[in-house]
Chain A
Amino acid sequence: MTNRQQQTPGIDFAVLTLKDALDLAVLIEEEARDRYEELAAQLVLHRTPGAAAFFAKMVRIEELHRKQLLEERAKAFGEQPVAVRREMIFDVEAPDYDEVRSDMTTREALETALRSEEKAHRFFVSVLSHVQNPEVRKLFEELRDEEVEHQDLVKKELAKLPDDDRFARVDVGDGPAPQ
């Protein structure tokens, strides 16, 4: 099974309508927003403030993208019901849960975001080879290109960081609570 089939099991991109494609794109951003929110909360709990703050910033960015897509959707299709469901997508742009660690640095958090943007880019490249509807194609091409722009933004942020922002694991050692 390809990554694309794993990330969106059961979706046939050859027959996807523009409305469903837009709704799918909204859900992809929503999933990423929620995941970053979860990861930020985990890192706050484990006192890893640098990475937590960066993930919180990602929450705002993904929410912004979601809102932009939602507006586009509302303009084109108004109140028409949504047919795609959040349960149809798995970690398209959202970082995998095992990307994070309690001792991760801000640099590692940025690298996680970069990998996630690259993953999303690969996803759009892969689905584009199946899409037939020209409007859907145009939308996915835009989204694919935006993923490259996002990667560049993260790379710029990475370049601003000091070379070594690592701290000793013992400083953040925060074992699970005994019962």
Chain B
Amino acid sequence: MNAPVFQAKDYKSELKPIWCPGCGDFGVLQGLYRALSSIGRPPHEVAFISGIGCSSRIPGYTTAYGFNTVHGRSLPIAQGVKLANPELLVVVAGGDGDGFSIGGGHVPHAVRRNMDLTYLVMDNQVYGLTKGQLSPTSPRGLETVTSPFGSLEEPINPLLYMLAYGAGFVAQATPADMPGMTALIEEAIRYPGFAFVNIQSPCVTFGEDDQQLKAHKAKQKSLASLGHDPSNQLAALDLARAYGTELYTGVFYRNPSPPPTYESLVKLRQTEQAKKARPRNQILDAYLQK
């Protein structure tokens, strides 16, 4: 057996995580290092893009390129990065608040554009960084500093959203099962198109007891053990409805024939257009003819 060119530790930066001891994000970070080592791309060929939140600190803890951007804007910036350099392996990381609250409007467009990005959401059902306010995935009735008498809203269901928007790869994981989560992250990165993994990553400081890793260990059920066929989109939609009640882990949906990515279509368009290059003063004519 040959040793891999890059070991997990090669992706680990010198910066020490300031997460609360016990935070689920530590396990996610470890799983990411390992997944990258299996894939074997050197750190300089990888870019991590995040928004703002505890989970969004991931880029700083890796030796890859990283951009800890603006709250809710990781996906637009990641798409820009990927388009500017399609050879880069781009991983987007962030929280449930970052992705589905302030950044929620970007999600359907990133999905339908279908760039080869991996989007990892560390879903802790709370705003961790700002000290425990309600997030869009908080369960109904949750008492927080912004909902002292309990939340009156239904949580959104990230799995159903992603499936309904048409994502080609949708999975769920928990660091309570490190090998399973690591393998899913790797599979998502290898999927040629927009891939989403909802990682139930507990907040030990503001999260509920039934959302901690010990509860996950008892509760999680792998989709494989249920006999789920990940190419069956309708079955995936049905299983995804259990978000918030069951903790299913594994691949809900994997498009068996992934469509071309946006960046590959752009490349084709550039090649076609290069053949019929117009003089500078006629460039706008393409729009006038319509």
Contact = CB atoms under 8 A, between A and B. Distances in A.
A96 B204 contact: no
Nearest to B212: A98
A6 B128 CA distance: 29
A172 B37 CA distance: 36
Interface residues of B, number: 39
B207 to A, nearest CB: 11
B22 interface: yes
Nearest to A177: B18
Contacts of A176: 18-20, 54, 128-129, 131, 205
Contacts, number: 86
B52 interface: yes
Contact of A97 (B4, B8, B38, B175): B175
B202 interface: yes
Contacts of A91: 178
Interface string B127-168: 011110000000000000000000000000000000000000
Contacts of B17: 42
Contact of A86 (B8, B22, B179): B8
B7 interface: yes
B184 interface: no
Contact of B52 (A9, A39, A100, A179): A179
Contacts of B4: 85, 87
Contacts of A97: 22-24, 26-27, 30, 175
Interface of A is mostly: loop
Given A39-B21, A87-B38, A101-B204, A9 B179 contact: yes
Contact of A98 (B18, B24, B54): B24
A43 B129 CA distance: 19
A63 to B, nearest CB: 16
Interface in A48-69: 48
Tell me whether chain B's interface is mostly helix, strand or loop, or mixed: loop
B52 A98 contact: no
B163 to A, nearest CB: 26
A168 interface: no
A176 B56 CA distance: 13
B1 interface: yes
Interface string B166-208: 0000000001011110100000000000000000001011000
A98 B204 contact: yes
The size bracket of the interface on A is: 20 to 34
A53 to B, nearest CB: 15
A102 B34 contact: no
Contact of B179 (A6, A41, A81, A83): A6
A150 to B, nearest CB: 23
Interface in A97-123: 97-102, 104
A135 B27 CA distance: 35
B120 interface: no
Contacts of A161: none
A90 interface: yes
Contacts of A162: none
A86 B175 CA distance: 18
Interface in A123-158: none
A78 interface: no
A178 B71 CA distance: 12
Contact of A43 (B9, B19, B21): B21
30 contacts: A6-B179, A42-B17, A42-B21, A43-B21, A45-B16, A46-B20, A83-B1, A86-B7, A86-B8, A90-B179, A90-B182, A96-B27, A96-B213, A97-B22, A97-B23, A97-B24, A97-B30, A98-B175, A98-B202, A98-B214, A99-B22, A100-B21, A102-B21, A102-B205, A175-B131, A176-B19, A176-B20, A176-B54, A176-B129, A176-B205
